Amino acid sequence: MNKKPRLSTLKPRLQELPPRLKPQTGTGWRAGKTTNDRGYTYQWQQARERFLRANPLCAYCMREGRIDAATLVDHIEPHRGDMTKFWDETNWQSLCKPCHDSTKAREEREAGNR
């Protein structure tokens, strides 16, 4: 009797996604939601552009006596999915990316540890 050779299983060619690109899991308010689901829609993009035109300088840099152009609109108090807080312009501030990614991120981490 002729035995047919068995095909070997190929090793996967795709690499695992880096952690920052993996879909969020867990129980946080962002878990499983797209940016659009979280409120960052075309309407947000329009409001953001208008806010940055009216407030072109980074609030944190100005606080430190520096002048730097803002590129992001940040929610002063995190909205965590609360759309009333999300759209409250008194809760917005213009920030440059370095301040948003370092100073603001550190403040929010420290506030979460209390």
Please give the average per-residue pLDDT across 18-22, as a whole number: 67
* Residues paired with 93 in a beta bridge: 74
- pLDDT-derived band at 1, boundaries 50, 70, 90: low
Structure tokens at 79: 């909205």
pLDDT, one tens digit per residue, over 42-95 is 999 999 999 999 999 999 999 999 999 999 999 999 998 999 999 999 999 999
Question: In the chain, where are the structural domains located?
Answer: 64-114
Contact 92, 73 (CB under 8 A): yes
Please give the average per-residue pLDDT across 104-111, as a whole number: 88
Look at residue 61 in the predicted model and tell me its pLDDT: 96
Q: d(Cα 52, Cα 41) in Å, to the nearest integer?
A: 16
Look at residue 25 in the predicted model and tell me its pLDDT: 64
pLDDT, one tens digit per residue, over 31-43 is 888 888 888 999 9
Residue whose structure tokens are 């979460």:
112
